[in-house]
Chain A
Amino acid sequence: MTAITTSDDTGAIPGVIQSKESSTAILIKHLLLFAFLVALWELAARMGWADELLFPAPSKIAESIWRIYVTQGNIWFHLYTTFKEALLGCAAGIVIGVALAVAAALSETFRTYLKPYIIVIEATPRIAIGPLFVAWLGFGLSSKVALAALVCFFAPFVNTLTGLLHVDEEANELFRSLGANKWQTFWKLRVPTASTIIMAGFKLAVGSAFGGALVAEFISANEGLGVLMYRYTYTLNMAGAFATLLSITFFAFWLYRAAEIADYRMIFWRSNELMEKKSRKRKQAFLKSIA
């Protein structure tokens, strides 16, 4: 059982380039390279080096993006559907994963009996269960949410369990020597200690939510980005398909980014800047409370 990602201890949102002056230079280089690649692609399409039916020119894709968002505006409806499926599925997966993990962390018996099932679920490629969900739950929302939840639940489960089980022995002894009861130790020591790794699990879940919803839509659905993508490809509207794909990437990226930022802010003691802010706030509140 291995989920757990590491973006720990850097004190910054991972991926954000640190040093300021060189970052501008790097950004310019990135943009130049990107512009060159896009221009090359455009050229290839116009000169007929690539089959434009299968690889539409970037200008055509841009046109298509304009159409689906503005002039025709048909993507919003599908975007809403897929977002709803992904977020509901992700939330359900996290709730189920965390609940199972807490139960498993608190009861050794439960943990022992749960283990073989977890191994089986881990060994099964989760999206392979998709057709079954569609058969059981129908073509609507629930089968999509179910598959997204199944895809999402694993990382929060493993990470929460690992985090809760791995408790510093001396901290445990400290709490015992101070006469803490089981619940105090759980809420004031084990949960906050595990929060770093639990949040890493949540990030992984958020990152896979879209995938689960999309696969379920591919299997069978009437609405959603997966359906739109499928329709465009089927009718050989490749520019539309690419525009949809880019949309998926764009929104999946920002969803994950949001989760990263939430993680960064919640586990504030990894960042000096956040600690200083918190420190000032708590100082004010504390001094007020004893005044």
Chain B
Amino acid sequence: MAAEAQAVVNPAEARSDASEQIVIEARNLTKAFTETVVALENATFKIKKGSFVSLVGPSGCGKSTLLRLVSALIQKTSGNLSVHGQEVDKPRKDIGMMFQRPVLLEWRTAVENVLLPNELSGKITKEDKKRAMAALDLVGLKDFEFTFPRQLSGGMQQRVALARLLQTGADIMLLDEPFGALDEFTRERLNVELMRIVSQVGSTTLFVTHNISEAIFLADQVMVMTPRPGRLAKIIDVPFPRPREIDIQVTPEFNALVAEVRSVLGGH
């Protein structure tokens, strides 16, 4: 009876079996560009379905390399890497990526940019177009659907890029310092919105950043990485429930986590 009540009250709980599924799994994952330049060495981790994982560390720690391995933009040197139980060897439809720059096509309106994933995988349907409009609405760009990238601010351009990512329908989202080039205020606001959107679509998210607070604020788990060679030094669980408020960053619990990440990075 209790289980039944739970299922009615909270559908997310009812899917708790599914949410324990491992979506991405890596064992001794290594990427060496040359014999001496080892970008990532022996990374071993599991990422659960629907979780938000931050990758934090200084330049050269292999966080972008890790993301590009998952997206199959580059190939591993050794070890294992699987997504949904399949070894990764080529770009997958269920993985979407977002970059530090918005990478929009300047000759296309916002909605035409959002439709790019559909266009590249075949024909654009009426449904796709409606979903693209909805995606732009979701990222807060209602009424800007038909503006060109040059007419939008940097933050708005990244919102278009996020809508494009949502449009892929990918359930794994890889974000490579997506708001890194924006000013502090815009970045903070976009982080809060990102968290809301990610919870709404229920995707598994890997988020690369070099900002410790941002990494903790957004994530269920923080993968702390150290450079030369790039190593996964520690995985830290973040116990706060999502979505979160900005003020959580001033709590002692939050600061304790910041201190923990710092101490792991301390030697580097």
Contacts and interface: CB of A to CB of B under 8 A. Distances in A.
B192 interface: no
Given A269-B106, A269-B150, A290 B129 contact: yes
Contacts of A177: 71, 73, 91, 95-97
Contact of A178 (B99, B111, B116, B133): B116
A5 interface: no
A184 B121 CA distance: 10
Contact of B99 (A170, A179, A268, A275): A170
A286 B103 contact: no
Contact of A289 (B71, B126, B147): B126
A13 B112 CA distance: 27
B148 A184 contact: no
A88 B116 CA distance: 38
Contact of A286 (B95, B100, B129, B149): B129
Contacts of B142: none
B151 A282 contact: no
Interface string A166-189: 001011011111111000100011
Interface in B50-90: 68, 71, 73
A211 to B, nearest CB: 33
Interface in A274-288: 275, 278-280, 282-283, 286
Contacts of A249: none
A23 interface: no
A192 interface: yes
A283 B112 CA distance: 10
A59 interface: no
A134 B12 CA distance: 83
Nearest to A184: B120
Interface size class of B (residues with CB under 8 A): 35 or more
B210 interface: no
B120 A180 contact: yes
Contacts of A170: 99-101, 103
B46 interface: no
Given A177-B95, A275-B150, A290-B130, A282 B103 contact: no
A175 B146 contact: no
A279 B112 CA distance: 11
7 contacts: A174-B103, A177-B95, A177-B96, A178-B91, A178-B121, A179-B93, A290-B126
A98 B180 CA distance: 38
A173 B176 CA distance: 12
A274 B68 CA distance: 38
A174 B168 CA distance: 12
Interface string B94-127: 0111011101011101011000110111000010
B107 A173 contact: no
Contacts of B106: 269
Nearest to A185: B120
Interface of A: 168, 170-171, 173-180, 184, 188-189, 192, 195, 268-269, 272, 275, 278-280, 282-283, 286, 289-290
A32 B19 CA distance: 82
A272 B103 CA distance: 20
A106 to B, nearest CB: 19
B93 to A, nearest CB: 7
B146 A279 contact: yes
Contact of A279 (B73, B126, B148): B148
A272 B147 CA distance: 10
A191 B219 CA distance: 39
B168 A192 contact: no
Given A176-B91, A184-B120, 19 more contacts: A170-B99, A170-B100, A170-B101, A171-B105, A173-B68, A173-B97, A174-B97, A174-B99, A177-B96, A178-B91, A178-B120, A180-B120, A189-B105, A269-B106, A275-B147, A279-B147, A282-B109, A290-B129, A290-B133
Nearest to B71: A177
B71 A192 contact: no
Contacts of A278: 148
A7 to B, nearest CB: 17
B147 to A, nearest CB: 6
A58 to B, nearest CB: 47
A168 B126 CA distance: 31
Name which of B99, B100, B112 has the most chain A CB atoms within 10 A of its CB.
B99
Most interface-central of B107, B111, B119, B130 (chain A CB within 10 A)? B107
Among A176, A178, A272, the one with the most B-chain Cβ atoms within 10 Å of its Cβ is A178
Closest 5 CB pairs of A and B: A283-B146, A177-B97, A269-B106, A180-B120, A170-B99
Nearest to B109: A282
B235 to A, nearest CB: 25
Contacts of B97: 173-174, 177
A172 to B, nearest CB: 9
Contacts of B103: 168, 170-171, 174
